[in-house]
Amino acid sequence: VPTLECTISDDTGRITVAFLGRRQIAGIETGTRMVAEGAVSSRGGKLMMINPAYELLASPETTGS
């Protein structure tokens, strides 16, 4: 199954979000600011969300990243 995996990080840590069945999502690229919401699990010692609800906040062009 194609899967797009992204790492979201802030001052508190990082989490991997995985979108199953997707190779890409418009607007999600390195440096994009986003918020994700969903059930969190631990896989291989890392926090992970599968197919979370998400909101794109800013693109790399608007954040200067």
In DSSP notation, 16-61 reads EEEEET-S--TT--TT-EEEEES-EEEETTEEEEES-EEEEEE-HH
pLDDT at 65 over 80: no
- Is 59 or 16 the better-scoring residue by pLDDT? 16
pTM, to two decimals: 0.82
pLDDT at 2 over 90: yes
Give the model's confidence band at 64: pLDDT under 50 very low, under 70 low, under 90 confident, else very high.
Answer: low
Specify the pLDDT at position 56.
94
CA distance 63 to 57: 10
pLDDT at 63 over 70: no
CA distance 33 to 65: 10
Pair of tokens at residue 51: 């197919």
31 in Cβ contact with 61 (< 8 Å)? no
Question: What is the average per-residue pLDDT within 12-30?
Answer: 95
